[in-house]
Structure formats: C-alpha cells, structure tokens
Amino acid sequence: MENNAQTYFASVAGQWDEIRSGYFTEHMRDAAIAKTRLPENAIVADIGSGTGFVAAGLAPRAAKVYGFDASAEMLAVAARNLEKFQNVELKQAPGNSIPLPNATLDGVFANMYLHHAPDPLAAIREMARLLKPGGVLCITDLDSHDHEWQRTEMADLWLGFERDDIRRWFAEAGLDEIDVDCAEGTCDACGPDGVVKPLSIFVAIGRKP
C-alpha cells in the first residue's frame, strides 16, 4: 500500500499545491505551529513534507528545518517552493526511518502524513525518537470518517483516527503533556460525486519528558 501512495503522489506532485489548498489552510498551519511554543533558534523536522507547505510555515520561526518525504517528485516541487529559505534542507526518506540521530530536534511536525503510514504507532515512535528532552511533536490529521473513496483515489491507508487512539499512541511513544484538540478549520474534500464534504481535523501535541 505504501507503493500506492508513492505512485499517487508522483502523479499529482505538479498539482498538489492546488489540491492541498482545499484541505489545509495557512491559517490552520500557523495556528498549529503556534500551539507548540517553539523555542528561539529551534531545529525542527517536517515529516511527510510533500511540497513544503508546513516547512514554509516553519522556516521563518526556526533556525533549521529538515523536510523529509518518500516522494522524489514532491520534493522537487518543494525545492522550488522553498528556494528563498536558506535554512531548509530536504531529504528523501520514508517516515518510519528518518536519517537523524536520537534527541536532535526541538520539534517534529507531521501534517496529513499519519493516514498514509502503514503503522501509525511506529511512525509516532520514530518521530518521538528524534526529540530532545522538552521537544514537541505536533501531528495534524483527519478525525475518523467514512470517505471510503479516499482509499482508492488518494491512496489513504486510514480513514482518519479516533482521538483516544492518538492520545494512547503518544503516551506509548513516551510523550507527556498530551493535548488533542480541533484544528482551526476543516478539510473540504470533494468526492467523486463532485460534492464537497468537510472533514474535521485534529491537532495533537505531545512533549518529550
């Protein structure tokens, strides 16, 4: 199934910024980043970076931003989108195996990545591994929904998540100060029937003790 996602994102990389604009806005992104209270000169990572939307929000607020994505095609678009930022480094890597040492980051962000992860708990553990003590994990993703077409048309592995599962997985990954709340907006997904059906989005925050 992971290969299906890579095939899908390779095919839509050139149009992704337009597609994404209906799913997650700059306001939602910036509000989620603000909740993390990043320290000055933070070193952060954006997992499942895609075309660099979240990295672009992080770059003015951080000393260093790593963007990781499994899709070379998406990263090529991200490189163009982020060329004005000298503090962003893009690398091709799957989300469950990030090529950084333990405890090196002040913040890790993953926007709309988790529902493409074959093993969400393993993905969260990998992100938590990267955090320094006191570092923050911020995941924004979909609440549980019934849009089955997103499995076939967008290569989604999971139709969103229950917030209690997210809280439990954060705890199992060794995080505390866990907060899972509503994002400031909705994901306005247009189905095959042409009808836009808003989906709710959560913002999950946890800190490394």
Chain segment 143-167, per-residue pLDDT in tens: 998 877 678 776 788 899 999 999 9
Q: What is the C-alpha to C-alpha distance for residues 47 and 39, in angstroms, rounded to an integer?
A: 19
* Structure token pair of residue 198: 């808003």
So what's the pLDDT on residue 1?
A: 39
> Please, which pLDDT band fits residue 99 given cuts at 50, 70 and 90?
very high
What DSSP string runs through 35-83?
Answer: HT-PPTT-EEEEET-TTTHHHHHHGGG-SEEEEEES-HHHHHHHHHHTT
Q: Above pLDDT 70, what percent of the chain? A: 87
Average pLDDT over residues 113-118: 94
Overall average pLDDT of the 42-48 stretch:
98
Q: Is the pLDDT of residue 142 over 50?
A: yes
Mean pLDDT across the stretch 75-87?
Answer: 96
Would you state the pLDDT for residue 85?
Answer: 98
Question: Computed from CA positions of residues 80, 84, 88, 89, in that sequence, does the dihedral angle turn out positive or negative?
Answer: positive
Q: What is the pLDDT at residue 21?
A: 56
Q: What are the φ and ψ backbone dihedral angles of 156, each rounded to 5 degrees?
A: -70, 135
| Residue reference for tokens 């992104």 | 29
For residue 94, what are its two tokens? 């799957």
**pTM of the predicted structure, to 2 decimals:** 0.89
